[in-house]
Amino acid sequence: MKKVWGSAAMIIATILWGMAFSAQSRGMDYIDPLLFTSLRSLSGVAALIIVIMVLDLFRYRRLSVWGDAGTRDEKKELLRGGWWCGIVLAIASSAQQYGLKFELSAGKTGFLTALYIVIVPVLGIFFRRKTPLLLWSAVAVGIAGAYILCGGVDNIGKGEWCVILCAVIYSIHILVIDHYVANCDCVRLSCLQFIIASLVTGFTSLAIGESWQSDSIMASLPMWVYCGVGSSAVAFTLQMVSQKYLHPVTATLLMSLESVFAVLGGWLFLNEKLARHEQVGCIVIFIAVILAQLPVQKKGNGKHE
């Protein structure tokens, strides 16, 4: 049952992420990439502080910064997790936003970001994490689905390279979360990572001279608030919760649905059309997700996990 809830949480997160590509693309009409990333992260922090307060209230607990982290070591672990998750997230989000700045479509950005379905299991080898053959098969099907959805890549420009870099860094982000989430409060860890991401991207934006015009910031407010509250605060927290119960590769394949919803969001909100091969690619990725959810039989004892 925990795997079912974990899968449901991850699917909701992917819907929020996928639809956010359209908002991110529109946001680039008004403000620069690092400023957008900083503002969305800041609004995510505000939303998560409210979530933390509500959860503590319902649990009849005294509101505190640390939550369940009572000892000095637990507090240090939470701070380390927030720091590293935030640094990695800041780099990945900024690279993705620059891809959209270079006028990639929301759909194309979505499926290029989905390259992490290949990278996560490969990186997992270096962490001595076992990945069953069935999940490797699902990864292969997912790769094929992403390629069909793309229709092939003839020319790779600056925007494509930015989003490919984003996919690599997001893969690292998944593994960093997997390392810290078992011993940390998920919501507080998520809040800390967005504080770090907002500070890093905000100071970098000022350092490189991005424009901070109030009129442009207000004009783009609906886009970065949606991305901050829905795509950042809610979705990334759901990701952390779900990763407590799912194998990282299973979680990654579910997250690959982000590319499907990115295409659908582009079609609904940006008038980006779904070609036949894109529809086929969506179906193939769904098949990969179903394969990833099938029980894996352990050798020698007949048990399934």
**Residue 256 in contact with residue 13, Cβ under 8 Å?**
no
Q: Report the pLDDT averaged over residues 146-155.
A: 67
Which region among 11-15, 87-91, 210-214, 294-298 has the lowest average model confidence (pLDDT)?
A: 294-298
Distance between CA atoms of residues 247 and 220, nearest Å: 37
pTM over 0.95: no
Which pLDDT band holds residue 302 (cuts at 50, 70, 90)?
A: very low
304 has a pLDDT exceeding 60: no
What are the angstrom distances between the C-alpha of 51 and each of 4, 105, 243?
23, 33, 19
Q: State yes or no: pLDDT of 118 exceeds 90.
A: no
Mean pLDDT of the chain: 83
For residue 82, what pLDDT band results from cuts at 50, 70 and 90? very high
Tokens of 276: 């036949």
| Closest-CA residue to 170 (of 4, 301, 13, 6) | 13
- φ, ψ of residue 61 in degrees (nearest 5): -110, 150
- The CA dihedral of 5, 258, 50, 228, to the nearest 10 degrees, is 180
For residue 28, name the pLDDT band (cuts at 50, 70, 90). very high
Rounded mean pLDDT, 104-131: 75
Closest CA to 17 of 254, 303, 286, 288: 254
Q: For 57-71, what is each residue's pLDDT tens digit?
A: 887 677 777 777 778
Cβ–Cβ < 8 Å for 231, 123:
no
The confidence band for 155, taking pLDDT boundaries of 50, 70 and 90, is low
Please say if the pLDDT value at position 40 is more than 50.
yes
| pLDDT value at 247 more than 60 | yes
Q: What is the pLDDT of residue 296?
A: 59
- DSSP letters of 257-302? HHHHHHHHHHHHHS-----HHHHHHHHHHHHHHHHHHS--BPTTT-
Domain ranges of the chain: 2-57+71-293
| Spatial contact of 34 and 97, defined as CB atoms under 8 Å apart | yes
For 220-234, how does the pLDDT look when each residue is reduced to its tens digit (9 = 90+)?
999 999 999 988 788
